[in-house]
Amino acid sequence: MTEAKEQFWKRARQSVERFKADPVTWQGYLDEIAIWDGLAGDGLTDEEPYYTPEEEAEIEAEYARTYGK
């Protein structure tokens, strides 16, 4: 990891720790995230999958061929 990336993530972790240190602010954040998480379901649970299992396997195989994974 480059030094710039290390510094970025170090500052990000420090910011989160400062955020968590204020219980009222942290709880407000958690409450807001819970609202957004509730929207993530968006009512599509009964929808058919976009790809068939065969198509998914083909996509995954192509990815593996392209990226060697």
Which pLDDT band holds residue 55 (cuts at 50, 70, 90)? very high
For residue 31, pLDDT beyond 70: yes
For residue 32, pLDDT beyond 70: yes
Which pLDDT band holds residue 11 (cuts at 50, 70, 90)? very high
d(Cα 1, Cα 52) in Å, to the nearest integer? 38
- Residue appearing with tokens 């509730």: 38
Q: Hey, where are the domains in the chain?
A: 3-67
Mean pLDDT of the chain: 87
CB 19 within 8 A of CB 25: yes
Entry pTM: 0.47
